[in-house]
Amino acid sequence: MKQAKISYILFMIVSLLGQIQEGHAQSSLLLYQLNEGPGVNPAILPTPEKYSFSIFPLAGTSVSYNSHDEVRNAFDIGTSNPSEEEITDIFKGFIHQKLVYQQADITWLSLGLRTKAGNFSMQVSEHAYGTVRLRGNLLDFFVEESETMFQLGNEQNFPGEGIHFRKYSLGYAKEMLHRKLEVGFRANLYFGKSFLSSDFSGSITEENERFYVRSSGQLNFSAPVTIIESPDGSKDLAASENSNALDYLTNTKNVGTGIDLGLKYTVSPYLHVTASAMNLGTINFKNNLQTLDFNGQSELTSDKVSRQVLEDGTVVLVKNVDEISLSETFENLYEVAGDQPSSFNTTLPAIFIAGANYQVGTNLSVGLTDRLVKHNKLNYNSLLLSATTQITRHLHISLGYAAIAGSYANIPFGLQYKWPGGSAYLITDNVLPVLDDSLSDIRGLSFGASFYPFRPKTKYQEVPYLPFFRLKKQRRNR
């Protein structure tokens, strides 16, 4: 039962990441440079026409993640009773990552209206974010054959954050300085579907010549699970039989509010800078709340570890085996809390973006974009340098280099197609895995389209702009 409980807790953590992979990340950085997608900057209505309209599945979808193989494997075997080897292999993959993240945005509906009084917008979208950090000296000591020593008293934290919510937005943007400054904001109403927040740590201590793994902290989450009490009084978790996908997606008991802010400043006809801050808000969860208390200990027997004093006097543990069993060691480190909370207030992952775009020539522009995702203790930064060129009258191609969450082998590529009645885009965060799957662990795809209804009919044929053309003078006949 304990091993099943341990595997359930592990896969409950990564299942929030896995559901994102299935399509429930954050928008590609190229979207910000192309002014595409309904959520990139509240100050910019990306469509030039008076009316704009888009609906799922073309309203805009973005998925971005790393540790693809590990999350997929964990999600695939999470509903079964995984073996010790399977758990260890998945942990090894996560440990090698500095930060594991999975993020996704899906827009269900987007409407835009341009007026003399300003630009108005409305959006309905779905968002899911998940980050976890397992890399540290304690887990390395347990599962890595090369890590043979651990200093007593060292502590490793296991921070993790995951959240899934729906967002209803009403936005307004206006030009404050003529042809110079545009500002905008969005008022947001959130409905939380699930969340996970872990803040616990582990260490190895010595007491009476015995060694113990000790834990402290809590893991709070909201998910459709129930508590099962065993005959011996211990408690376990199981998926709720009274819940289904429809109940989960239509849950409106977890409510929150927030705002998005944005601006665009035109330095010159060739250079403009932009900035935005999104998801500045909180959600108060009241439904399906559970808490796990990490306040236990488990002994490491002498056949697995031994004590050694280094030349400088430091006391360390030395492994006597290649690997130490995770399930046997951690089985007593946590338990389902007896008193479950009635509510839990969680902050949303705030996204801060700053960008600059310079028009080099008629058909070429270069851009620089920086993005910071701030989510409690799990923050990461991404940077993009890109170039966009106009291939034909309707087609634009973008290519760049990006450093994303500590990964430096990323080549984003995007296509943007514009026509009088709308625009469409297709973007990948990284084309390298297409060439060789081992070149980078970053995956990402964004696509969408917007349409301009009620456009006035064009009575005359449009001709290309010819700036150096001069009309030939006509001679008078005398």
> What does the pLDDT look like over 436-457, one tens digit per residue?
777 777 778 889 998 988 776 6
| 387-397 average pLDDT score | 93
- The domain spans of the chain are 2-451
Distance, first Cα to last Cα, the chain: 109
Least confident segment among 63-77, 183-197, 349-363: 63-77
| 171-177 average pLDDT score | 92
Q: Please tell me the predicted confidence (pLDDT) of residue 78.
A: 53
Q: Please tell me the predicted confidence (pLDDT) of residue 308.
A: 85
Q: Please tell me the predicted confidence (pLDDT) of residue 23.
A: 31
CB 97 within 8 A of CB 136: no
Q: Which residue has the higher pLDDT, 371 or 224?
A: 371
* SS3 letters across the chain: CHHHHHHHHHHHHHHHHHHHHCCCCCCCHHHHHHCCCCCCCCCCCCCCCCEEEEECCCCCEEEEECCHHHHHHHHHHCCCCCCHHHHHHHHHHHHCCCCEEEEEEEEEEEEEEEECCEEEEEEEEEEEEEEECCCCHHHHHHHCCCCCEEECCCEEEEEEEEEEEEEEEEEEEEEEECCCEEEEEEEEEEEEEEEEEEEEEEEEEEECCEEEEEEEEEEEEECCEEEEECCCCCEEEEECCCCCHHHHHCCCCCEEEEEEEEEEEEEECCEEEEEEEEEEEEEEECCCEEEEEECCEEEECCCCEEEEECCCCCEEEEECCCCCCHHHHHCCCCEECCCCCCCEEEECCEEEEEEEEEEEECCEEEEEEEEEEECCCCCEEEEEEEEEEECCCCEEEEEEEEEECCEEEECCEEEEEEECCEEEEEEECCCHHHHCCCCCCCEEEEEEEEECCCCCCCCCCCCCCCCCCCCCCCCCCC
List CB contacts of 313: < 8 A, sequence separation 6 or more.
none
Q: Please tell me the predicted confidence (pLDDT) of residue 26.
A: 43
Least confident segment among 67-71, 379-383, 399-403: 67-71
Distance CA 237, CA 224 (A): 10
| 227: pLDDT strictly greater than 50 | yes
Distance CA 337, CA 345 (A): 18
Q: Please tell me the predicted confidence (pLDDT) of residue 407.
A: 79
Query: Sign of torsion, CA 34 35 38 42?
Result: positive
Residue 6: band (very low, low, confident or very high) from pLDDT cuts 50, 70, 90: very low
Least confident segment among 219-223, 290-294, 374-378, 424-428: 374-378
| 460: pLDDT strictly greater than 60 | no
| 260: pLDDT strictly greater than 50 | yes
Q: Please tell me the predicted confidence (pLDDT) of residue 267.
A: 94
| 233-239 average pLDDT score | 65
Q: Please tell me the predicted confidence (pLDDT) of residue 38.
A: 54
Distance CA 101, CA 374 (A): 12
The structure tokens 């522009």 sit at 365
| 459: pLDDT strictly greater than 80 | no
Q: Which residue has the higher pLDDT, 144 or 412?
A: 412
Q: Please tell me the predicted confidence (pLDDT) of residue 25.
A: 36
Residue-wise pLDDT for 190-220, tens only, equals: 999 999 888 888 888 888 888 888 888 888 8
Q: Please tell me the predicted confidence (pLDDT) of residue 144.
A: 76
- For residue 216, list its beta bridge partners: 201
Most confident of 111-125, 218-232, 372-386, 423-437: 111-125
Distance CA 102, CA 79 (A): 20
Pairing of β 210-222 and β 181-207: antiparallel
Query: Sign of torsion, CA 264 267 273 275?
Result: negative
Distance CA 389, CA 373 (A): 29
Q: Which residue has the higher pLDDT, 466 or 355?
A: 355
Distance CA 226, CA 238 (A): 5
Residue-wise pLDDT for 111-166, tens only, equals: 999 998 989 999 999 998 888 887 788 888 887 777 778 888 788 888 888 899 99
Which of 238, 213, 218, 161 has its CA nearest to residue 326?
213
Least confident segment among 18-22, 192-196, 251-255, 303-307: 18-22
Q: Please tell me the predicted confidence (pLDDT) of residue 368.
A: 93
| 79: pLDDT strictly greater than 80 | no
Q: Please tell me the predicted confidence (pLDDT) of residue 9.
A: 47
* SS3 letters across 322-353: CCCCHHHHHCCCCEECCCCCCCEEEECCEEEE
Q: What percent of the chain has pLDDT over 70?
A: 79
| Mean pLDDT estimate for the chain | 80
Measure CA 354 to chain center.
18
Residue-wise pLDDT for 312-333, tens only, equals: 878 888 888 877 777 677 777 8
| 108: pLDDT strictly greater than 90 | yes
Q: Please tell me the predicted confidence (pLDDT) of residue 143.
A: 77
Residue 376: band (very low, low, confident or very high) from pLDDT cuts 50, 70, 90: confident
Q: Cis bond leading into 57, ω under 30°?
A: yes
